[in-house]
Structures are given as structure tokens and as C-alpha cells.
Amino acid sequence: MYDIIIRAGRQGDGRLVDIAIQQGKIAALGTLPETATAQQTLDLGGRVHVSAGWIDGHTHCYPASPLYHDEPDKVGVTSGVTTVIDAGSTGADDVDDFQRLAAGCKTRVHALLNISRIGLLRQNELADSRDLDMDLASAAIARHPGFIVGIKARMSGSVVGENGLQPLHMAKALQQAHGRLPLMVHVGNTPPDLDEIVALLGDGDLLTHCFNGKPNRILTPAGELRQAVREAMQRGLLLDIGHGGASFSFEVAELAIAQGILPRTISSDIYCKNRIKGPVYSLAHVMSKFLAIGMTLEQVLACVTYHAADALRLPGKGRLEVGADADLTLFEVMSGPTLFTDTEAGARNGDRQLQPLAALVGGELVLTHYGKSHHAFCV
């Protein structure tokens, strides 16, 4: 007898699948015999979609952060997201506190360590060289090998001040010292110029806010991909959405996608304000925007499952396969007109909206607010 059997879940490609879960792992999948039994059965009846658990690779969910804060489970399991990565809210000074808090959450929580020891204590956390301490950062990474999964550097003029590229050079040195940990780099206002930033990036590095509408963006004024970005992508640079409250332009996204420049990962850059008041609301809402501008459901799901798991080196995550962690997202694809907005006063009409019903983390079922009020499957 299995712990849980999910029957007739619809995958992103439209095919149906049965999934058996035992001791927090996927034990079998495909078409299970009718004689297979479990302590709990979820019959999705082909009406509800199932995918590997969604991973939001750029959030701000350290509750004690004075600038951008939220609660991991609010942006996580109660929104259908099984794994959240906090992108630099904490540095060496406060990551221990965050780790203790995260250990008590139902959502799987990880951190990208801010290379500033103070984290997001203030907006210009990389402007004072006294806060850029390699030894403290290295020690923090060593203390939390399962919790800290990468490094974050916010390379905007308003953040780095007179330090220019120095913080990024430090982040790259730290990355090399710890087995090439994933490095996520935020791009915003100049200086430094994007060309200078991406010249230092390559294999496996993540450029977040990749479709922002600011002058320091990946496209030239003529709408073509900057040569420096193209060369960095040829070296292995990955594009991450990092929507947030000021970093996503439909126009840029559409121009890029039309040229075959797709995001590798879709992330929300969510925190309490843009979750409650928009324009982010949830990872599902951000994903839905990409359905509205022409990406397929399979492409969108890949960006929050196995692409994200691979980019952030999360073993056992992101794939429906025997032996993987039983982290799953159950959701509906709702039909109906929806107006989506970006952060540049742009808007697009869509006719599909992803609506999460539940998240399973290690086989433990957590219903979303929508799932609690919607009898979409039989338990």
C-alpha cells in the first residue's frame, strides 16, 4: 500500500498520469493498476493539472527584513509553490536567523546569500566596502550548505554607489571558492553598464530582471539583443525573470521572445507589497502572463520546475520521476478574459489564468485558499 495515489492528473502536454507516493518520494508513475491502494487517494479525473512542484527562484520572504519582507509559506505552499529561494534578503549577519525560521516552514526554503554582510538592511547595501567581507560570507556558506544554495549581487548604481564592479568581482571570487555556487546578478540603473556586468558572467550565472524596461536592459534601442549579452549567453548565462514591482516589461519580453530569446527561469521577486497590491500577486499570476504573450504551458512549467531545479542545483526537485521528492503542484488552467499588467504601465489581455489548488511537499498535502473552497478533486 502506498501513502498517496494521485489518479488521472493532466500534465502540461495534456497526457494523463497516475502518481504513487511513498515515504515522501515518487514511488511509481504512469498508469497504475486499479488494484493499487493507498492510505489517501486524490482522483483528479483529468480535470486538474499536476506538475513537479513549482520553484520560485527569486523571492524576498525573510520576515525580519526592513525593506522587502514576507512569510515563506504565504509565497510558498499556500500559493501552490513548493520551494522558494530568497534572493539576497540576508547576508552573513542575519542568515542564521533566517535559517532557523525557515526550518519551521511547510515550504522548502533556501537562500541566495547577499554578498553584503548586512543583507537588505538598506537599499545601498553594497556601497560601503566595510560591509563586503569575504571571510564572513564564506563562513556563512560553510555553516549552511543545504540552506544557502547560491550568491546574490544587486548590481545597480543605487546599490553599489562608488564601488562599481567591485562587489561583482567579490561575488565571482566567492563563487569560485565554493564549487561554483549559482550566482544571481540583479541589473537595474547604471552605472555599471549591463555590458560591463555580463562581461564577467557565464556558465550557470543567472541574470535576473532580464526583461526589465529600463535603459540598462538586454535589448538595444533597435530592439535587438545586445552583443555582450549574446556572448555571455553563449558562455552559459541564464535569463531569469525576477518580475518584481519595477522590473518587467511586456514590450521587452515580446521583442525578446519573438527572436527566440526565452527566459530560462520564471521567478516572481515577490514580497508582501507586490503580492497584495500587485502587479506580481503570485508566481502563478506571473506564469500566466507568459501564456498571454505566446509561451506554451509546457514551456512555462519548465521554467519553474526542472529548469529552476537545474539552475539552482536542487537535487530531487523539478521532475516527475521515480525516486524524486514528492513535491507536486496541483492546478487548474482557468479560461476567461484577464487583463495583465507589467511594471511599465503596459497591459496585455489573456484568456488563461493558472490557479493553484494544492501543493504537496514530501507527500504532505497543503490546500491553497482557492483549493479549500473548490471541490476539484475527490480525497
Enumerate the H helices of the chain as residue ranges. Answer: 72-75, 95-102, 134-143, 157-160, 166-177, 194-198, 227-234, 250-258, 272-276, 283-292, 297-304, 306-311, 369-372
User: What phi and psi values does residue 196 have, to the nearest 5 degrees?
Assistant: -65, -35
Which residue ranges make up the annotated binding site for Zn(2+)? Answer: 58, 60, 152, 186, 209, 269
In one-letter notation, the amino acid at residue 153 is A
Q: Tell me, yes or no, whether 154 lies in a domain.
A: yes
Host domain of residue 225: 52-312
DSSP category for residue 240: B
What's the pLDDT score for residue 70?
98
pLDDT of amino acid 373:
84
94-103 confidence digits (pLDDT tens): 999 999 999 9
**b vs e for 156-182, b when ≥16 Cβ sit within 10 Å of the residue's Cβ?**
bbebbeebebebbebbbebbeebeebb
For 362, list phi and psi in degrees, rounded to 5.
60, 30
- How does DSSP classify residue 304? H
Closest of 276, 327, 254 to residue 55, by C-alpha: 327
Q: 241 near 286, Cβ under 8 Å?
A: yes
Q: Domain with 269 in it: what CATH number?
A: 3.20.20.140
Q: How high is the pLDDT of residue 250?
A: 98
Provide the domain count of the chain.
1
In a domain, 245, yes or no: yes
Q: What pLDDT score was predicted for residue 377? A: 55
Annotated binding site: 58, 60, 152, 186, 209, 269
Runs of H (alpha helix) within 321-379: 369-372
Q: Strand 2-10 and strand 16-22: pairing?
A: antiparallel
Query: How does DSSP classify residue 79?
Result: G
Residue 20 within any structural domain of the chain: no
Q: Judge whether 335 lies within some domain.
A: no
The span from the CA of 265 to the CA of 290, in Å, is 12
Residue 10 lies in a domain: no
Does a structural domain hold residue 16? no
Q: Is residue 115 included in any domain, yes or no?
A: yes
- Residue 316 confidence (pLDDT): 97
| pLDDT tens, N- to C-terminus, the chain (379 residues) | 999 999 999 999 999 999 999 999 999 999 999 999 999 999 999 999 999 999 999 999 999 999 999 999 999 999 999 999 999 999 999 999 999 999 999 999 999 999 999 999 999 999 999 999 999 999 999 999 999 999 999 999 999 999 999 999 999 999 999 999 999 999 999 999 999 999 999 999 999 999 999 999 999 999 999 999 999 999 999 999 999 999 999 999 999 999 999 999 999 999 999 999 999 999 999 999 999 999 999 999 999 999 999 999 999 999 999 999 999 999 999 999 999 999 999 999 999 999 999 999 999 999 999 998 876 555 5
Distance between CA 56 and CA 172 in Å, rounded?
23
| Contact present, 372 and 279 (Cβ < 8 Å) | no
Domain assignment of residue 302, yes or no: yes
